[in-house]
Amino acid sequence: MSADNDHLHRLVHSMTRAEKRYFKLYTSRHLVGNQSVHQLLFDAIAAMPAYDVSILHRQFAGQSFMRRFAITKRRLYEAVLDSLDAFHAKSSVDDEVRRMLHHVELLQHKALYADAAKVLRSARKLAKDHERHALLLQVAEWDRRFMERSNYAGITGQALAKHATKAEATATSWIEMDRLWQIKSETFLLLYHNGQAPGMQELEQLDGLAADPLLAVDAVLHSAGARFLHHHVRGALAYVRNNLPACEKELEAAARLLRTAKGPFDGEPGLLLGVIANLAQVRMRLGRHQEALEGFQEFRRAPRMMAKAPSPDLEMKLFVLGNSLQMSVLAVKGDFAQAVELVGALEEGFVRYGKRISTVRRAELELQAAFVCLGAAQPGNALRWCNRLLGERGIDAHAELSALGRMLNLACLVELGKHDLLEYVVRNAQRAWKQHAGPFAMERVLLEHAQALARITGSRRQMAWHSVLAALEEVAAEPKESAALDQIDLITWARAKAEERNFAELVKEKWSQRPVPARRNHGKRAA
């Protein structure tokens, strides 16, 4: 039985050595006859590479707790969570404020009202300094309880009005954040599903979201968190419109905010890392390659500068963003041989993180792996990665990634001369297009020429490649089509075939001949 099929096994194997050691200390308080059922079962499950209940039944045959194993297991799961809760006490602002509020409740029940009020003041200050609006609303609820408990002794009408004003301001800030989060989520839902190839209906939806007053340039916002979401969403809307200068401007503003407004973003290092990675990608596409490379170097240094080791969640994000950014940099420079060395690390990461990586992030990495393998003259490996991408569950919902995967798949089949498979792919695509148009004209160009390119030889083949190149260059004049070339440079690939040149060498030549734009003066560096 796979570890993926057992929640207790997953939890135990996610624990660090320190957490496991603490669990032993935590449960040793409840030893019966110098023995703990929880510790015995914990050790047995921790020793299993993959969960197998039959091993446990053999190992603990005759033990009374195995007769009600489901209950024992549930209690062990709860004990592990309790120990983790105790181990990580005060590990985050939210946790610390929640514990303070629990202490307020305990002191209140003990009739230690002055002590409870003192703890509540500390909780309010901590929550306010870090803009925890939901927790501040809970603080306001305790304020009301204190007033009621004393039968409003010493409370004036002015004090009640002041409390109402503060509570209303907190609620307004919370509602503002919630509305911005909703706009962000609706924007990214469209972005992840359609990429930079949205249809007319999706563009209308995006226009509607962009018109929200909270996204206006002069919007008055009440918290640093709201201002970050404001820039974050405006940047995403500019990106999907292929307005890269506007996108970069919003990302720079977001980065400045994350660096200066420390309190509200404490404990969320992934936010700045994500912005740094996105800035590097956007600057790469804008042709400001040196700034992009500097951003990549900053991204790589950032984890070493953190006060605490990255959490498992942040480790996974670093794996995704780091590998994606590094492969992008190497691919645009034509260093495919070096880039393909990262593919092994991808395999290991996919095994390590499994389905915890979202479908869209996994597919993006698979697309990049396929492209660098194609550039490294390994079309067989490239085809394998394409098949993994196209076989991802739910990938059809992500139109742009699916289309890019199909285009790269076609390129691999042409390289390998797989005539039968090409015919199958072309027939399937033609059937699909009877129901809806493909998101990229480039895919139509490749499909129209694919079989001929795989079959013909000699001078006719070179003429065919020149026809493909001309057709691709023509459709690439559209912004939506040109955006696809930033992920898989099919035009340079077609030019290499037409001119009988090495693809990687041609990309390197393109890199060396790029115009070097004047370095912008950012004042204080945003990224």
pLDDT in tens, 359-406: 889 999 999 999 999 999 999 999 999 999 999 988 888 888 888 998
Same domain (yes/no): 53, 123 = no
Six token digits for residue 211? 């018109």
Q: Does residue 207 sit within a domain?
A: no
Confidence tier at 287 by pLDDT (50, 70, 90) = confident
Residue-averaged pLDDT of the chain: 86
| pLDDT surpassing 70 at residue 488 | yes
Q: Report the amino acid identity of residue 420.
A: D
471 in any annotated domain? yes
Examine the domain organization and report whether 490 and 356 are in the same domain. Answer: yes
Same-domain pairing of 355 and 432: yes
CA distance 264 to 127: 9
Q: Are residues 371 and 462 in the same domain?
A: yes
Q: Quick one: 272 and 147 in the same domain?
A: no
Q: Which domain holds residue 25?
A: 3-87
| Amino acid 426: pLDDT | 76
Is 124 found in the same domain as 14?
Answer: no
pLDDT over 90 at 265, yes or no: no
> Per DSSP, what are the bridge partners of residue 32?
35
Do 130 and 35 have their domain in common? no
Q: Do 31 and 148 fall within a single domain?
A: no
Contacts for 322 with CB less than 8 Å, ≥ 6 apart: 299, 300
DSSP-based three-state secondary structure for 220: coil
Question: Which residues contact residue 144 at a Cβ distance below 8 angstroms, ignoring those fewer than 6 apart?
Answer: 163
Q: What does the pLDDT average to over 312-324?
A: 85
Residue 173 covered by a domain: no
Residue 132, helix vs strand vs coil: coil
Q: What are the tens digits of pLDDT across the range 197-242? A: 677 888 889 999 999 999 999 999 999 999 999 999 999 999 888 8
| Residue 371, domain CATH | 1.25.40
- Say whether both 333 and 298 belong to one domain: yes
Let me know: does 84 contact 123? Beta carbons within 8 Å. Answer: no
Q: Tell whether the model's pLDDT for residue 436 goes beyond 90.
A: no
Residue 250 lies in a domain: no
**pTM of the model as a whole:** 0.76
- Is 435 inside any structural domain? yes
